[in-house]
Structure 1
Amino acid sequence: MMTGAPRITMLSAALSRDGGGVFASILGAAEALADRGVPVSLIGLADSHSAADRPTDPRLASRVVTLRQRMPLGVPAPLVRAIADERPDILHLHGLWLPPSRAMAGWRNSSGRPTVISPHGMLDPWALANSAWKKCLAGLMFERANLAAASCIHALNLAEAAAVRAYGLRGPVAVIPNGVHLPTVVSAADAAAGAGDGRRVMLFLGRLHPKKGLSETIQAWSRMDAALRADWRLVIAGWDDGGHGAVLRDLAGPMLASGDICFVGPLFGPAKEAALRGASAFILASHSEGLPMAVLEAWSHGKPAFMSAACNLPEGFAADAAIRVTPEPQALADALAMHLGRADLPDIGARGRALVAERFSWPAVGARLAAVYDWLLGGGPMPADVEPEPGQSTPRRRPGPALRRDGCS
């Protein structure tokens, strides 16, 4: 049993804006744990933004490791050494398929200490089908065994927990969402500022990737009535993932010149906050998500969310804090035509903010994560958030990979 707070090291491929919402969730969780007196360190791979985006919270030790090869062809010794230097009691991996997974396996084998893995939606069916052969190969080479040997898998919601089970994993699964910080209440004047020309702003915020449903959103926007487009502008804020931005700009075509659609590039810090304050609504017609930080951030600013079921936030629909859309152009255009003229959009956004305060605040999430860590180290009972191995009243570690259900032979 631990006599003091456990030392937690969070490991990820990116500790910068390159990690998108995963980086935001790591940072938020680490700060929430630090607020509880838990020592937390962060380790990631060096990238073009890791120096500029290094966490500034003095309570968080962070380091980035440069690897000659980012493809996980072998155990990355520099990364394993960096983990060992931190002397964690628990190693918590965020994300899959990359060198940190192999580093976790190497450290686990040498230390025998508990490990936690957060897939962040990377085991969802759509995500597995994207670049499927690469993920099948990575699963066969290392990731399946790494997941099977984890002390606990951290799922962001019940849908992700089901995806974990569908992948054939039978160990303990803790279902704990991401969190956000609640900003100062947004004034009506902020939202009224909109695009600066009288139009209201429908905001997309995230990476420009096919899974986000942006091509379908742009097609839907083009099919809207001209009167609606005269009142609303679609603002797309995010960084280009794999050249998808050029495809989207070509698809937007003349709507760029008319100002119906605007690409503003990636936004961080005060610029992102200003975009959220000035928006009148938020959209994410995604094909696949773990639990999107951007929706939680939009809700925290009191913005109604137009989102798909794949965002895995059914609480939003249940609380009437979101409007359900699908990533299909005509159906999405019909939904926008039906709902953009509603006078109660601010009320829907207010319900989203209340939902965040109740269920998705970082202090509450940090307490739940801390309880899981404490349990893994023998310092407390199994939390209610943890589902043990099917058929077992208490968790036990499986000796090897389980039945394959991901299409790999």
Structure 2
Amino acid sequence: MKTNTKQLRVCQVVASINEVVGGPAYSVTNLAQSLSELQICSHLFTLDYQNAGKQVPTINVNVHSYSATKLAKYLRGFQPSANYALQQIASCELDLIHNHGLWMFPNLYARQAAVNNNLPLIISPRGMLESWSLRNSWFKKLPAWYLYEQQNLQKAIAFHATSDEEAKSIRQLNFRQPIALIPNGVSLPNLSNLPNREILFKQFPEITKKKWLLFLSRIHPKKGIDNLLYVWKKLITQFPDWHLIIAGPDLIGYQAKLEQLTAQLELQPRVTFTGMLSGEQKASALCNADLFVLPTHSENFGIAIAESLAYGVPVITTKGAPWKDLEGYGCGWWIEDNQQALMDVLIEAIEMPESQRQAMGLKGRNLVETKYSWSVIAKDMASVYHWILNGGSPPSCIQVNE
């Protein structure tokens, strides 16, 4: 196992950091950048899917990005030339490889580079071992499991989980390696310099004089958006001054089905699909929302929840997301994953005085500052890397299987 007495050299491997991919693109790049601020030589290996938006930028990170070929786009990132490049990087520039995500060929390349160069491999499943995710498209995942994914996971010297629930999912599959329990981090916006509501009015005039119920995440069946639409149908006459905004990228064509459902429910005047928002538009949506809702069936973390809290917006989410802290810190609602529970809590939250919602939002901001700042996350992750390479007592974030 290679060690470097001067500066620790770590490579984050992730299938994509293109904006449209959502959560992992931001969490992995922010981790790499935050590690560089701790004097770690920080590398990042990825493919560039140019049809999926720009790549998330980084500072002081050695980004090894390779344009995805047509074959890679249609065959889960299969790109032998990129595999060869990662092998070369690992042979002379790295002490440790940290792989993020499953089921894609770059995740296989990470294991091969680690094994061939005698480097330790850490794997962050990024929610892809949750029971809901395993059931979804299982017929595609089963061949990958037996061809390479099971072996990838077996070769990991340790796992990284972002929640207790994700750690339990790893153990349920009988993997016995140590697990680093470290949440995702959140970039904290400056609340004294935020964009106003008008940024979105020109493109979406129907939201101008309304209060905003915001969904902002990937448009995907696991997010429970259909449940949200069915519930919203029952509430629109009761709350005519509220408007549902559904924002986020659509990688699989699911938004068309949701728009069809919206039309069937005659909800078009009260629902706006914005597509993916970024930059000032995303910040405007988050900081001017009155409530944030993510009725998800499964999340390993839920970065959109943390982002909303960072902007001081109270959150409604289900127990499919590991956010019990919403109740403990008084900054939101953590409910059962069904339509009745969602309707009951929406009525409670909307009828609440605006000042009370704002007070809840400030408690959420305090939660994020305390537990989820990137500086805290990076220090914990760095301590795990050093422990793996140098031994000694395990960091407090490590769970060892008894």
Give distance in 1, aligned partners of 2:396 and 2:28: 22
Instruction: Please say if residues 327 and 333 of structure 2, whose CA atoms lie closer than 8 Å, have aligned partners that are also in contact.
Output: yes
Q: Identify unmatched segments of 5+ residues in structure 2.
A: 202-206
Q: What is the match of residue 387 of structure 1? A: 399
**Deviation by residue 1:43-95 (Cα, 9 ceiling, x = unmatched):** 11231247732525244434125343457799853233222343221111111
What's 1:141 paired with?
Answer: 147
Alignment deviations for residues 189-224 of structure 1 (CA, whole Å, 9 cap, x no partner): 957999753211011111110000101011111111
Matches of 2:248 and 2:54 in 1, distance apart? 17
Distance verdict in 2 for CA 1:73–1:342, change over 3 Å: closer
Spell out structure 1 runs of 4+ moving beyond 3 A.
Answer: 69-77, 186-196, 254-258
Q: Give secondary structure in 2 for the equivalent of 1:97.
A: coil
Counterparts of 1:146 and 1:183, CA distance in 2: 37
Aligned to 1:212: 223
Q: Distance in 2 between matches of 1:17 and 1:189?
A: 20
Partner AA of 2:367 in structure 1? L
Sequence identity percentage: 29
How many pairs were matched up?
389
Q: Counterpart in 2 of 1:239?
A: 249
Q: Is the 8 A contact 2:49 2:73 kept in 1?
A: no
Normalised by the size of structure 1, how large is the TM-score?
Answer: 0.88
Partner Cα separation in structure 1 for residue 270 and residue 67 of structure 2:
43
Distance 1:194 1:77, change over 3 A: closer
Q: What pairs with 1:280-291 in structure 2 (closer than 5 Å)?
A: 280-291=290-301
Does residue 92 in structure 1 map to residue 103 in structure 2?
Answer: no
Matched, 1:339 2:337: no
Q: Residues of 2 paired with 1:74 and 1:340: CA distance?
A: 44
Corresponding residue number in structure 2 for 1:17: 19
1:360 corresponds to which letter in structure 2? Y
2:369 maps to 357
CA RMSD of aligned residues (A): 2.5
CA distance in 1, matches of 2:392, 2:53: 38
CA shift in 2, pair 1:132/1:113, >3 Å? same
Inter-partner Cα distance in structure 1 for 2:187 and 2:376: 11
Stretch moving more, 77-86 or 200-209: 77-86
**Alignment-derived partner of residue 276 in structure 1:** 286
Mapping of 1:272-311 within 5 angstroms?
272-311=282-321
SS in 2 for 1:264: strand
| Structure 2 residue identity aligned to 1:16 | N
In 2 relative to 1, CA 41–214 (structure 1 residues): closer, same or farther, beyond 3 Å? same
State which of 23, 48, 68 in structure 2 corresponds to 1:66. 68
Unaligned runs of 5+ in 1: 392-409
1: CA distance, partners of 2:133 / 2:321: 13
- Sort the Cα spacing of 1:247 and 1:326 in 2 relative to 1 into closer, same or farther, 3 A: farther
Residues 199-258 of structure 1: per-residue CA shift (max 9 Å, x gap): 110111111100001010111111115131x12111011111311101111111177775
Q: CA deviation at 1:369?
A: 0.5
Give the counterpart letter for 2:85 in structure 1: A
TM-score by length of 2: 0.90
Q: Secondary structure at the match of 1:45?
A: strand
- Measure how far apart 1:188 and its partner are: 10
* Alignment partner, residue 151 of structure 1: 157
- Which residues in structure 2 correspond to 1:121-132 (within 5 Å)? 121-132=127-138
1:190/1:270 Cα in 2 relative to 1: closer, same or farther (>3 Å)? closer
